[in-house]
Structure 1
Amino acid sequence: MAEELADPPCLIVADPDVLIRNGLAEYLRHCGYKVFEAATSDEVIIALEEGATSFQAMLVDAELSGELNAFELRMWVKEHYPDVDIILAGNVDRAAKAAGHLCDDGPHLQRPYDPESVVAHIKRLLAATRR
């Protein structure tokens, strides 16, 4: 049964794999979250800049493509939307190589996603933000 959230947080799930992205997004919706799906960093930036929705958190695959890679996107979001929590996910070894000089912060979650772990991680992030 879906957990009903009084004012459900809005999330972005950014993953180039439509099956993974859609499956996780549907699970999160079932848990009561509002979810926007993005296949590239460009789609994430458009969603944030349009401002129709105020996003609280994002789950970003470390191998996301677009004008910015996932780590550059993380830096851009932190600069322009510092209140949006970012969860990086992916293969730790490949993500560490991709991050290289961009940041010390590697992936927070391992793919394939365990949906319950994703929800638990989002809840911890949002609870920490409210403190």
Structure 2
Amino acid sequence: MPRESNHTQQSNAPTVLVVEDETMVRMPIAEYLRDCGYNVVEAGDASEAIAAMAAETPVSLVFTDIRMPGKMDGFGLAEWFRSHYPDVPVLLTSGYHGGRSSPGISIPGTRFIEKPYSQNQVARRIAALLDS
């Protein structure tokens, strides 16, 4: 199930869907993005992310890990978003990408940021993607 926030949603603020199976990685970046003024929906894997979209949560951007448990990884999730929500940008992240210099770049609307990242780097990248 997508995680609910204890924070009040800001009606005009963009909503970021953070998809990360490692709770100790997901929680701090989600909290930081909330502190930056974004509404945040958290999911532990691709199926939870898709369930969040089925709940008609208006998502402005997806920030997802590439390597996740389940039937679909971050690449598959990015492709799912391209098919179902082509206007929603996807920011992929991973600490391991098998030597590929820019994973996901071949998927339109998708960008990549390597782990370890700083929270500020992620927030700047999200702001830039939402502005473009």
Q: TM-score, normalised by structure 1?
A: 0.81
Alignment partner of 1:91 out of 58, 79, 95: 95
Per-residue deviation, 1:6: 7.8
Per-residue deviation, 1:103: 7.0
Structure 2 CA distance, aligned partners of 1:81 and 1:21? 23
For the 8 Å contact 2:19–2:45, the answer to whether it is kept is: yes
**Identical-pair percentage:** 29
Deviations 1:43-102 (A, max 9, x none): 000001110x20000110011222211111110111001121100001253374xx7xx8
Alignment partner of 2:120 out of 116, 119, 123: 116
Say if 2:85 is the partner of 1:81. Answer: yes
Structure 1 CA distance, aligned partners of 2:38 and 2:111? 22
Say if 2:14 is the partner of 1:12. Answer: no
More helix, by proportion: 1
Match of 1:46 in 2: 51
Per-residue deviation, 1:104: 3.0
Deviations 1:8-48 (A, max 9, x none): 10011111110110000000001110001111100000001
